[in-house]
Amino acid sequence: MTHWKRIAVVMLGLSGLAWAAELPQSLRGATPVSDSASPPPMAQYPAKGAALPRTLEHQPPLIPHKASYPITLERNGCTGCHDPQRAAKMKATPTDPSHLDGQGKLKNEYYFCKQCHVPQQSVAQTSH
Ligand code: HEC
Ligand code: HEC
Convert the pLDDT of each residue in 18-46 to its tens digit. Answer: 555 677 888 788 888 899 888 878 888 98
The set of protein residues with a Cβ atom below 6 angstroms from ligand 1 is 50-51, 61, 63-65, 67, 69, 77-78, 80-82, 90-93, 113-114, 117
Please determine, for residue 93, whether its predicted confidence score (pLDDT) is greater than 80: yes
Residue nearest to atom 40 of ligand 1 (CA): 78
106/78 Cα distance (integer angstroms)? 11
Residue to mutate (ligand 2; options 95, 100, 106, 108; most atoms within 8 A of CB) = 95
Q: Is 126 domain-assigned?
A: no
Residue bearing the CA closest to ligand 2, atom 16? 58
Q: Which residues form the domain of 74?
A: 58-121
Query: Looking at residue 64, which CATH number applies to its domain?
Result: 1.10.1130.10
Nearest atom in ligand 2 to 83's CA: 35
CB-side neighbour CA atoms (13 Å) of 15: 6
Please state, in angstroms and rounded to a whole number, the distance separating the CA atoms of residues 38 and 54: 34
pTM here is 0.82
7 in a domain, yes or no?
Answer: no
Number of domains in the chain: 1
Radius of gyration of the chain, Cα coordinates, nearest whole angstrom: 25
So what's the pLDDT on residue 31? 86
Would you say residue 111 lies in a domain? yes
Q: Model confidence over 62-90: pLDDT tens digits?
A: 999 999 999 999 999 999 999 999 999 99
**Pocket test residue of 78, 113, 115 for ligand 2, highest count of atoms within 8 A of CB:** 113
